[in-house]
Amino acid sequence: MDYFEINGRKSLHGEVKISGAKNAVLPLMAAAILNNKKLQILNVPFLSDSATMAKLLESMGAKVHFDPNNSITVDSSSLDNPFASYDLVKTMRASFYVLGPLIAKFGYAKVSLPGGCAWGPRPVDFHLEALKALGVDIKIENGYVIATAKKITGNTIHFPKISVGATGNVVMTAIFAKGVTTLTNAAAEPEIQQLCNMLNSMGAKIDGIGSNTLTITGVQSLNSIDSISVIPDRIEAGTFMIATAAVGGKVKIKNIIPEHLDSVSNCLKKAQVQVDIGADFIIIESDGSNIAPTDMETNEYPGFPTDLQAQWMMLMCLAKGVSTIKENIYYDRFTHIMELNRLNCDIKLENSIARIQGNQNLVGADVMSTDIRASAALIIAALCAKGKTTISRIYHIDRGYDKIEEKLSILGAEIIRRK
Ligand code: EPZ
Protein backbone atom coordinates (compact mmCIF):
# COMPACT_ATOMS: atom_id res chain seq x y z
CA MET A 1 0.00 0.00 0.00
CA ASP A 2 1.20 3.51 -0.85
CA TYR A 3 2.59 5.68 1.90
CA PHE A 4 3.95 9.23 2.12
CA GLU A 5 7.48 10.03 3.23
CA ILE A 6 7.83 13.64 4.39
CA ASN A 7 10.87 15.58 5.57
CA GLY A 8 9.62 18.47 7.65
CA ARG A 9 10.37 22.14 8.22
CA LYS A 10 10.37 23.35 4.62
CA SER A 11 8.31 26.55 4.38
CA LEU A 12 5.70 26.90 1.62
CA HIS A 13 5.82 29.57 -1.07
CA GLY A 14 3.93 30.21 -4.30
CA GLU A 15 0.43 29.56 -5.61
CA VAL A 16 -1.94 26.59 -5.48
CA LYS A 17 -5.04 26.12 -7.68
CA ILE A 18 -7.88 24.51 -5.77
CA SER A 19 -9.83 21.67 -7.41
CA GLY A 20 -13.58 21.17 -7.61
CA ALA A 21 -15.37 20.17 -4.40
CA LYS A 22 -15.68 16.45 -3.63
CA ASN A 23 -18.80 17.10 -1.56
CA ALA A 24 -20.40 19.03 -4.41
CA VAL A 25 -19.61 16.70 -7.33
CA LEU A 26 -21.04 13.60 -5.62
CA PRO A 27 -24.64 14.89 -5.23
CA LEU A 28 -24.47 16.47 -8.71
CA MET A 29 -23.58 13.06 -10.17
CA ALA A 30 -26.45 11.45 -8.26
CA ALA A 31 -28.85 14.17 -9.47
CA ALA A 32 -28.06 13.14 -13.07
CA ILE A 33 -30.31 10.12 -12.37
CA LEU A 34 -33.36 12.38 -12.28
CA ASN A 35 -33.71 12.99 -15.99
CA ASN A 36 -32.97 10.85 -19.04
CA LYS A 37 -30.63 13.43 -20.40
CA LYS A 38 -26.86 13.74 -20.55
CA LEU A 39 -25.26 15.92 -17.89
CA GLN A 40 -21.74 17.28 -18.40
CA ILE A 41 -19.99 18.16 -15.15
CA LEU A 42 -16.91 20.38 -15.36
CA ASN A 43 -14.09 21.04 -12.88
CA VAL A 44 -14.40 17.51 -11.48
CA PRO A 45 -11.67 16.69 -8.93
CA PHE A 46 -9.57 13.62 -9.72
CA LEU A 47 -10.51 11.58 -6.65
CA SER A 48 -11.28 7.97 -5.89
CA ASP A 49 -14.69 9.06 -4.56
CA SER A 50 -15.70 10.54 -7.95
CA ALA A 51 -14.63 7.25 -9.55
CA THR A 52 -16.64 5.28 -6.98
CA MET A 53 -19.79 7.29 -7.72
CA ALA A 54 -19.22 6.72 -11.46
CA LYS A 55 -18.88 2.97 -10.86
CA LEU A 56 -22.08 2.98 -8.81
CA LEU A 57 -24.05 4.78 -11.55
CA GLU A 58 -22.65 2.43 -14.19
CA SER A 59 -23.61 -0.60 -12.04
CA MET A 60 -27.21 0.63 -12.35
CA GLY A 61 -26.96 0.97 -16.12
CA ALA A 62 -25.96 4.60 -16.58
CA LYS A 63 -23.12 5.61 -18.88
CA VAL A 64 -20.37 7.73 -17.32
CA HIS A 65 -17.59 9.08 -19.50
CA PHE A 66 -14.53 10.75 -18.03
CA ASP A 67 -13.57 13.40 -20.58
CA PRO A 68 -10.15 15.04 -20.67
CA ASN A 69 -9.58 18.25 -18.69
CA ASN A 70 -11.44 17.20 -15.56
CA SER A 71 -14.94 16.80 -16.90
CA ILE A 72 -17.36 13.89 -16.92
CA THR A 73 -20.58 13.18 -18.78
CA VAL A 74 -23.31 11.18 -17.06
CA ASP A 75 -26.06 9.70 -19.26
CA SER A 76 -28.80 8.12 -17.17
CA SER A 77 -31.13 7.33 -20.09
CA SER A 78 -29.94 3.70 -19.97
CA LEU A 79 -30.17 3.48 -16.16
CA ASP A 80 -32.76 0.75 -15.51
CA ASN A 81 -31.59 -1.02 -12.38
CA PRO A 82 -32.32 1.03 -9.21
CA PHE A 83 -30.05 -1.16 -7.07
CA ALA A 84 -26.98 0.11 -5.17
CA SER A 85 -24.92 -2.83 -3.90
CA TYR A 86 -23.20 -3.07 -0.53
CA ASP A 87 -19.86 -3.65 -2.27
CA LEU A 88 -19.90 -0.13 -3.62
CA VAL A 89 -21.90 1.69 -0.92
CA LYS A 90 -19.66 0.37 1.88
CA THR A 91 -16.65 2.17 0.37
CA MET A 92 -18.31 5.56 0.26
CA ARG A 93 -21.16 6.81 2.44
CA ALA A 94 -22.10 9.44 -0.17
CA SER A 95 -23.35 6.57 -2.37
CA PHE A 96 -26.52 6.91 -0.32
CA TYR A 97 -27.25 10.04 -2.32
CA VAL A 98 -28.66 7.83 -5.09
CA LEU A 99 -31.64 6.81 -2.94
CA GLY A 100 -33.61 10.04 -3.41
CA PRO A 101 -33.25 10.33 -7.19
CA LEU A 102 -33.93 6.62 -7.71
CA ILE A 103 -37.17 6.67 -5.72
CA ALA A 104 -38.22 9.93 -7.40
CA LYS A 105 -37.64 8.49 -10.88
CA PHE A 106 -38.60 4.83 -10.53
CA GLY A 107 -40.87 4.71 -7.47
CA TYR A 108 -38.59 1.92 -6.27
CA ALA A 109 -35.03 1.64 -5.01
CA LYS A 110 -32.92 -0.95 -3.23
CA VAL A 111 -29.90 0.75 -1.68
CA SER A 112 -27.44 -0.71 0.79
CA LEU A 113 -27.22 0.98 4.15
CA PRO A 114 -23.86 2.77 4.37
CA GLY A 115 -21.35 1.49 6.89
CA GLY A 116 -19.93 3.50 9.75
CA CYS A 117 -16.59 5.25 9.50
CA ALA A 118 -13.39 5.74 11.45
CA TRP A 119 -15.03 7.91 14.05
CA GLY A 120 -18.17 5.96 14.72
CA PRO A 121 -21.70 5.30 13.46
CA ARG A 122 -23.14 7.53 10.77
CA PRO A 123 -26.87 6.86 10.82
CA VAL A 124 -29.33 7.62 8.02
CA ASP A 125 -32.47 7.87 10.14
CA PHE A 126 -33.12 11.48 9.08
CA HIS A 127 -33.10 10.41 5.42
CA LEU A 128 -35.51 7.52 5.99
CA GLU A 129 -37.94 9.36 8.31
CA ALA A 130 -38.20 12.18 5.77
CA LEU A 131 -38.87 9.77 2.88
CA LYS A 132 -41.63 8.13 4.92
CA ALA A 133 -43.16 11.59 5.47
CA LEU A 134 -43.27 11.97 1.67
CA GLY A 135 -45.25 8.73 1.35
CA VAL A 136 -42.35 6.38 0.63
CA ASP A 137 -42.65 2.89 2.11
CA ILE A 138 -39.33 1.94 3.72
CA LYS A 139 -38.29 -1.60 4.63
CA ILE A 140 -34.86 -2.68 5.88
CA GLU A 141 -33.90 -6.18 4.73
CA ASN A 142 -30.45 -7.79 4.98
CA GLY A 143 -28.69 -4.43 5.28
CA TYR A 144 -30.60 -2.90 2.37
CA VAL A 145 -33.17 -0.11 2.28
CA ILE A 146 -36.10 -1.22 0.11
CA ALA A 147 -37.99 1.94 -0.79
CA THR A 148 -41.26 1.91 -2.75
CA ALA A 149 -43.66 4.74 -3.52
CA LYS A 150 -46.75 4.68 -5.74
CA LYS A 151 -46.94 8.43 -5.33
CA ILE A 152 -44.67 10.92 -3.59
CA THR A 153 -46.66 13.65 -1.87
CA GLY A 154 -45.25 16.90 -0.60
CA ASN A 155 -45.09 17.45 3.16
CA THR A 156 -43.48 19.62 5.83
CA ILE A 157 -40.41 17.96 7.32
CA HIS A 158 -38.25 19.18 10.20
CA PHE A 159 -34.76 17.69 10.49
CA PRO A 160 -33.81 17.05 14.16
CA LYS A 161 -30.22 18.07 13.34
CA ILE A 162 -28.91 19.80 10.22
CA SER A 163 -27.77 17.07 7.81
CA VAL A 164 -26.02 17.75 4.49
CA GLY A 165 -26.73 14.31 3.05
CA ALA A 166 -30.31 14.07 4.25
CA THR A 167 -31.09 17.55 2.88
CA GLY A 168 -29.68 16.64 -0.54
CA ASN A 169 -31.38 13.26 -0.62
CA VAL A 170 -34.79 14.60 0.38
CA VAL A 171 -34.66 17.56 -2.01
CA MET A 172 -34.07 15.10 -4.85
CA THR A 173 -36.87 12.82 -3.60
CA ALA A 174 -39.32 15.74 -3.54
CA ILE A 175 -38.47 17.13 -6.99
CA PHE A 176 -41.42 15.40 -8.74
CA ALA A 177 -43.65 15.14 -5.65
CA LYS A 178 -47.32 16.11 -5.86
CA GLY A 179 -47.59 19.43 -4.06
CA VAL A 180 -45.12 21.36 -1.94
CA THR A 181 -42.42 20.06 0.41
CA THR A 182 -40.99 22.32 3.11
CA LEU A 183 -37.75 21.33 4.82
CA THR A 184 -36.89 23.13 8.06
CA ASN A 185 -33.50 22.89 9.78
CA ALA A 186 -32.16 22.02 6.32
CA ALA A 187 -28.47 22.29 5.40
CA ALA A 188 -27.23 25.51 3.77
CA GLU A 189 -23.76 24.24 2.88
CA PRO A 190 -22.44 25.62 -0.46
CA GLU A 191 -22.47 22.11 -1.87
CA ILE A 192 -26.21 21.80 -1.19
CA GLN A 193 -26.74 25.28 -2.60
CA GLN A 194 -25.05 24.22 -5.85
CA LEU A 195 -27.18 21.06 -6.04
CA CYS A 196 -30.39 23.09 -5.61
CA ASN A 197 -29.27 25.79 -8.06
CA MET A 198 -28.45 23.15 -10.65
CA LEU A 199 -31.85 21.48 -10.19
CA ASN A 200 -33.57 24.85 -10.60
CA SER A 201 -31.61 25.44 -13.81
CA MET A 202 -33.10 22.14 -15.01
CA GLY A 203 -36.63 23.36 -14.26
CA ALA A 204 -37.11 22.40 -10.61
CA LYS A 205 -38.79 24.82 -8.24
CA ILE A 206 -36.71 25.16 -5.05
CA ASP A 207 -36.93 28.28 -2.90
CA GLY A 208 -34.91 29.34 0.13
CA ILE A 209 -31.56 28.17 -1.28
CA GLY A 210 -28.79 29.18 1.13
CA SER A 211 -31.15 29.32 4.10
CA ASN A 212 -32.13 26.59 6.55
CA THR A 213 -35.67 26.39 5.14
CA LEU A 214 -36.14 24.95 1.67
CA THR A 215 -39.43 24.80 -0.21
CA ILE A 216 -39.71 22.40 -3.14
CA THR A 217 -42.75 22.64 -5.43
CA GLY A 218 -43.05 19.40 -7.40
CA VAL A 219 -42.67 19.54 -11.20
CA GLN A 220 -43.46 16.96 -13.89
CA SER A 221 -39.96 16.55 -15.28
CA LEU A 222 -36.56 18.16 -15.61
CA ASN A 223 -34.97 19.43 -18.81
CA SER A 224 -31.30 19.14 -19.71
CA ILE A 225 -28.61 21.78 -19.28
CA ASP A 226 -25.39 22.14 -21.27
CA SER A 227 -23.07 21.66 -18.30
CA ILE A 228 -22.40 22.51 -14.67
CA SER A 229 -19.04 23.50 -13.21
CA VAL A 230 -18.33 22.16 -9.70
CA ILE A 231 -17.70 24.84 -7.08
CA PRO A 232 -14.19 25.01 -5.61
CA ASP A 233 -13.43 22.71 -2.69
CA ARG A 234 -13.55 24.90 0.43
CA ILE A 235 -12.13 22.08 2.54
CA GLU A 236 -9.10 21.61 0.28
CA ALA A 237 -8.63 25.40 0.29
CA GLY A 238 -8.90 25.56 4.09
CA THR A 239 -6.39 22.73 4.38
CA PHE A 240 -3.82 24.71 2.38
CA MET A 241 -4.59 27.88 4.38
CA ILE A 242 -3.96 26.07 7.67
CA ALA A 243 -0.90 24.25 6.30
CA THR A 244 0.73 27.55 5.32
CA ALA A 245 -0.09 29.08 8.70
CA ALA A 246 1.48 26.09 10.46
CA VAL A 247 4.57 25.41 8.33
CA GLY A 248 5.30 29.05 7.56
CA GLY A 249 5.71 30.87 4.24
CA LYS A 250 3.45 32.77 1.88
CA VAL A 251 0.91 31.02 -0.36
CA LYS A 252 -1.84 32.28 -2.66
CA ILE A 253 -4.75 29.85 -2.61
CA LYS A 254 -6.47 30.44 -5.98
CA ASN A 255 -9.71 29.56 -7.76
CA ILE A 256 -11.84 29.69 -4.62
CA ILE A 257 -14.96 31.41 -3.34
CA PRO A 258 -13.51 33.28 -0.35
CA GLU A 259 -16.79 33.76 1.51
CA HIS A 260 -17.12 29.96 1.72
CA LEU A 261 -14.10 30.20 4.03
CA ASP A 262 -15.05 33.18 6.18
CA SER A 263 -15.17 31.10 9.38
CA VAL A 264 -11.66 29.75 8.69
CA SER A 265 -10.25 33.16 7.75
CA ASN A 266 -11.71 34.67 10.92
CA CYS A 267 -10.19 31.96 13.13
CA LEU A 268 -6.80 32.35 11.43
CA LYS A 269 -6.93 36.12 12.02
CA LYS A 270 -7.73 35.47 15.70
CA ALA A 271 -4.65 33.20 15.76
CA GLN A 272 -2.62 36.23 14.55
CA VAL A 273 -2.02 34.74 11.08
CA GLN A 274 -1.92 37.18 8.16
CA VAL A 275 -4.91 36.62 5.87
CA ASP A 276 -5.42 38.71 2.69
CA ILE A 277 -8.69 38.08 0.89
CA GLY A 278 -9.09 38.70 -2.87
CA ALA A 279 -11.96 38.18 -5.31
CA ASP A 280 -11.17 34.52 -5.98
CA PHE A 281 -8.12 33.90 -3.82
CA ILE A 282 -6.78 34.14 -0.28
CA ILE A 283 -3.12 34.80 0.59
CA ILE A 284 -1.80 33.36 3.84
CA GLU A 285 1.51 34.60 5.23
CA SER A 286 3.06 33.21 8.38
CA ASP A 287 6.45 32.57 9.95
CA GLY A 288 5.06 29.40 11.52
CA SER A 289 5.64 30.80 15.04
CA ASN A 290 3.70 33.38 17.11
CA ILE A 291 0.45 31.49 16.58
CA ALA A 292 -2.03 32.72 19.19
CA PRO A 293 -3.99 30.00 21.03
CA THR A 294 -7.56 30.18 19.72
CA ASP A 295 -10.55 28.24 20.99
CA MET A 296 -12.78 26.92 18.20
CA GLU A 297 -15.96 24.95 17.86
CA THR A 298 -17.27 23.32 14.72
CA ASN A 299 -20.72 24.12 13.40
CA GLU A 300 -22.83 23.72 10.33
CA TYR A 301 -22.23 26.25 7.52
CA PRO A 302 -21.41 29.11 7.81
CA GLY A 303 -19.73 27.93 11.03
CA PHE A 304 -16.26 26.40 11.19
CA PRO A 305 -16.40 23.17 9.13
CA THR A 306 -15.98 19.86 10.95
CA ASP A 307 -13.93 18.72 7.94
CA LEU A 308 -11.20 21.20 8.94
CA GLN A 309 -11.25 20.39 12.67
CA ALA A 310 -8.31 17.97 12.58
CA GLN A 311 -6.23 20.38 10.53
CA TRP A 312 -7.02 23.24 12.93
CA MET A 313 -6.12 21.03 15.90
CA MET A 314 -2.71 20.50 14.37
CA LEU A 315 -2.17 24.25 14.00
CA MET A 316 -3.08 24.79 17.67
CA CYS A 317 -0.30 22.35 18.64
CA LEU A 318 2.07 25.15 17.58
CA ALA A 319 0.23 27.96 19.38
CA LYS A 320 1.78 29.82 22.31
CA GLY A 321 -0.56 28.40 24.95
CA VAL A 322 -3.60 26.19 25.51
CA SER A 323 -6.54 26.01 23.07
CA THR A 324 -9.75 24.00 23.04
CA ILE A 325 -11.84 22.49 20.26
CA LYS A 326 -15.50 21.54 20.67
CA GLU A 327 -16.77 19.22 17.92
CA ASN A 328 -20.50 19.84 17.53
CA ILE A 329 -21.15 17.82 14.37
CA TYR A 330 -19.59 14.43 15.24
CA TYR A 331 -19.01 14.22 18.98
CA ASP A 332 -16.36 11.50 18.53
CA ARG A 333 -14.42 12.79 15.52
CA PHE A 334 -11.10 12.67 17.36
CA THR A 335 -9.29 9.56 16.10
CA HIS A 336 -6.50 11.85 14.85
CA ILE A 337 -5.51 12.81 18.43
CA MET A 338 -3.65 9.54 19.02
CA GLU A 339 -1.71 9.85 15.77
CA LEU A 340 -0.87 13.54 16.32
CA ASN A 341 0.40 12.73 19.82
CA ARG A 342 2.82 10.25 18.23
CA LEU A 343 4.43 13.30 16.60
CA ASN A 344 4.95 14.87 20.05
CA CYS A 345 1.73 16.84 20.17
CA ASP A 346 0.09 17.18 23.59
CA ILE A 347 -3.67 16.83 23.12
CA LYS A 348 -6.15 15.53 25.68
CA LEU A 349 -9.85 14.77 25.29
CA GLU A 350 -12.06 15.77 28.21
CA ASN A 351 -15.86 15.35 27.83
CA SER A 352 -15.75 15.58 24.02
CA ILE A 353 -13.66 18.74 24.16
CA ALA A 354 -10.08 18.55 22.93
CA ARG A 355 -7.54 20.46 25.02
CA ILE A 356 -4.39 21.28 23.07
CA GLN A 357 -1.18 22.26 24.88
CA GLY A 358 0.56 24.38 22.25
CA ASN A 359 4.18 25.30 21.70
CA GLN A 360 5.12 21.75 20.80
CA ASN A 361 8.23 20.84 18.89
CA LEU A 362 6.90 18.16 16.59
CA VAL A 363 9.20 15.26 15.87
CA GLY A 364 8.84 12.95 12.85
CA ALA A 365 7.51 9.41 13.35
CA ASP A 366 5.61 6.64 11.57
CA VAL A 367 1.87 7.36 11.67
CA MET A 368 -1.30 6.02 10.06
CA SER A 369 -4.23 7.76 8.35
CA THR A 370 -7.66 7.01 9.76
CA ASP A 371 -9.90 9.16 7.56
CA ILE A 372 -9.65 11.74 4.79
CA ARG A 373 -9.34 14.83 6.96
CA ALA A 374 -7.23 13.24 9.71
CA SER A 375 -4.77 12.34 6.95
CA ALA A 376 -4.57 16.00 5.98
CA ALA A 377 -3.82 16.94 9.58
CA LEU A 378 -1.05 14.34 9.72
CA ILE A 379 0.47 15.71 6.51
CA ILE A 380 0.51 19.22 7.98
CA ALA A 381 2.04 17.88 11.18
CA ALA A 382 4.71 16.03 9.20
CA LEU A 383 5.50 19.22 7.26
CA CYS A 384 6.10 20.95 10.62
CA ALA A 385 7.98 18.10 12.31
CA LYS A 386 11.72 17.79 12.71
CA GLY A 387 13.05 14.92 10.61
CA LYS A 388 11.23 12.25 8.63
CA THR A 389 7.61 11.13 8.95
CA THR A 390 5.93 8.28 7.10
CA ILE A 391 2.13 8.24 6.76
CA SER A 392 0.53 4.92 5.84
CA ARG A 393 -2.98 4.09 4.54
CA ILE A 394 -2.98 7.18 2.32
CA TYR A 395 -5.81 5.72 0.26
CA HIS A 396 -7.87 7.81 2.69
CA ILE A 397 -6.30 11.01 1.43
CA ASP A 398 -6.76 9.98 -2.21
CA ARG A 399 -10.50 9.91 -1.59
CA GLY A 400 -10.67 13.61 -0.89
CA TYR A 401 -7.60 15.45 -2.17
CA ASP A 402 -6.66 15.81 -5.85
CA LYS A 403 -2.88 15.34 -6.28
CA ILE A 404 -2.04 16.78 -2.85
CA GLU A 405 1.61 15.74 -2.91
CA GLU A 406 2.16 17.41 -6.29
CA LYS A 407 0.53 20.62 -5.08
CA LEU A 408 2.60 20.63 -1.88
CA SER A 409 5.86 19.79 -3.67
CA ILE A 410 5.38 22.75 -6.03
CA LEU A 411 5.09 24.94 -2.92
CA GLY A 412 8.40 23.62 -1.57
CA ALA A 413 7.40 20.70 0.65
CA GLU A 414 9.50 17.52 0.66
CA ILE A 415 6.80 14.88 0.24
CA ILE A 416 7.17 11.66 -1.74
CA ARG A 417 4.62 8.91 -2.42
CA ARG A 418 6.27 5.54 -1.97
CA LYS A 419 4.89 2.14 -2.98
C1 EPZ B 1 -21.36 15.43 4.73
O2 EPZ B 1 -21.54 14.15 5.30
C3 EPZ B 1 -19.94 15.43 4.20
N4 EPZ B 1 -19.79 14.40 3.17
C5 EPZ B 1 -18.95 15.19 5.33
O6 EPZ B 1 -17.63 15.30 4.79
C7 EPZ B 1 -19.15 16.26 6.38
O8 EPZ B 1 -18.30 15.99 7.48
C9 EPZ B 1 -20.60 16.30 6.85
O10 EPZ B 1 -21.49 16.45 5.72
C11 EPZ B 1 -20.87 17.44 7.82
O12 EPZ B 1 -20.58 18.66 7.20
C13 EPZ B 1 -20.27 14.63 1.94
O14 EPZ B 1 -20.84 15.68 1.67
C15 EPZ B 1 -20.08 13.55 0.93
P16 EPZ B 1 -24.44 14.96 7.87
P17 EPZ B 1 -23.03 13.68 5.76
O18 EPZ B 1 -25.61 14.15 7.46
O19 EPZ B 1 -24.04 14.25 4.86
C20 EPZ B 1 -25.96 13.11 11.99
C21 EPZ B 1 -15.46 14.60 4.22
O22 EPZ B 1 -14.42 14.40 4.86
N23 EPZ B 1 -26.96 12.39 11.18
O24 EPZ B 1 -24.46 16.44 7.62
O25 EPZ B 1 -22.98 12.22 5.92
C26 EPZ B 1 -24.54 12.67 11.70
O27 EPZ B 1 -24.21 11.52 12.44
C28 EPZ B 1 -16.79 14.13 4.79
O29 EPZ B 1 -15.51 15.17 3.11
C30 EPZ B 1 -27.88 11.59 11.82
O31 EPZ B 1 -27.87 11.45 13.04
O32 EPZ B 1 -23.13 14.36 7.20
C33 EPZ B 1 -23.76 13.89 12.12
O34 EPZ B 1 -23.64 13.88 13.54
C35 EPZ B 1 -16.64 13.50 6.15
N36 EPZ B 1 -28.82 10.95 11.07
C37 EPZ B 1 -24.67 15.05 11.71
O38 EPZ B 1 -25.98 14.49 11.61
C39 EPZ B 1 -28.86 11.08 9.70
O40 EPZ B 1 -29.75 10.49 9.06
C41 EPZ B 1 -24.30 15.71 10.37
O42 EPZ B 1 -24.13 14.69 9.42
C43 EPZ B 1 -27.91 11.90 9.06
C44 EPZ B 1 -26.96 12.56 9.83
pLDDT one-digit tens code per residue, 100-147: 999 999 999 999 999 766 666 678 999 999 999 999 999 999 999 999
Question: Does the pLDDT of residue 299 top 90, yes or no?
Answer: yes
pLDDT in tens, 201-223: 999 999 999 999 999 999 999 99
Lowest-pLDDT choice from 75-79, 94-98, 317-321, 359-363: 359-363
Cβ contacts of residue 142 below 8 Å, gap of 6+? none
pLDDT of residue 115: 72
The pick from 98, 161, 373 for probing ligand 1's pocket by mutation, whose C-beta has the most ligand atoms within 8 angstroms, reads: 161
* Residue 351 pLDDT grade (very low, low, confident, very high; cuts 50, 70, 90): confident
22-218 shares the fold of 3-18+233-418:
yes
Domain ranges in the chain are 3-18+233-418, 22-218
Query: CB of 93 closer than 6 A to ligand 1?
Result: yes
If one counts every other C-beta atom within 10 angstroms of the C-beta of residue 308, the result is: 26
Query: CB of 30 closer than 6 A to ligand 1?
Result: no
| Options 117, 196, 345, 384, the catalytic residue | 117
C-alpha 137/C-alpha 148 separation (Å) is 5
pLDDT in tens, 151-165: 999 999 999 999 999
CATH placement of domain 22-218: 3.65.10.10
Query: CB of 165 closer than 6 A to ligand 1?
Result: yes
Q: What is the pLDDT averaged over residues 228-234?
A: 98
Q: What is the pLDDT averaged over residues 87-108?
A: 95
Atom of ligand 1 nearest to the CA of 330: 34
Residue nearest atom 42 in ligand 1 by C-alpha distance: 163
Domain 3-18+233-418: which CATH number of 3.20.20.70, 3.30.70.2860, 3.90.226.10, 3.65.10.10: 3.65.10.10
Residue nearest atom 25 in ligand 1 by C-alpha distance: 165
Atom of ligand 1 nearest to the CA of 161: 38
Q: What percent of the chain has pLDDT over 90?
A: 93
Rounded alpha-carbon distances, angstroms, from residue 292 to 267, 295, 323, 348, 361: 10, 10, 9, 19, 16
Query: CB of 379 closer than 6 A to ligand 1?
Result: no
* Residue 366 pLDDT grade (very low, low, confident, very high; cuts 50, 70, 90): very high
pLDDT in tens, 53-79: 999 999 999 999 998 799 999 999 999
Cβ contacts of residue 379 below 8 Å, gap of 6+? 4, 6, 243, 391, 397, 404, 408, 415
For the question of residue 196 being annotated catalytic, the response is no
Q: What is the pLDDT averaged over residues 9-24?
A: 97
Question: Does the pLDDT of residue 44 top 90, yes or no?
Answer: yes
Query: Helices 309-316 and 234-247 meet at what angle, rounded to 10?
Result: 10
Query: CB of 408 closer than 6 A to ligand 1?
Result: no
Distance 164 CA to ligand 1 centre (A): 6
Query: CB of 122 closer than 6 A to ligand 1?
Result: yes
377 and 371 in contact (C-beta within 8 Å)? no
The overall average pLDDT reported for the chain is 95
β-pair type (205-207, 3-7): unpaired
Distance 417 CA to ligand 1 centre (A): 29
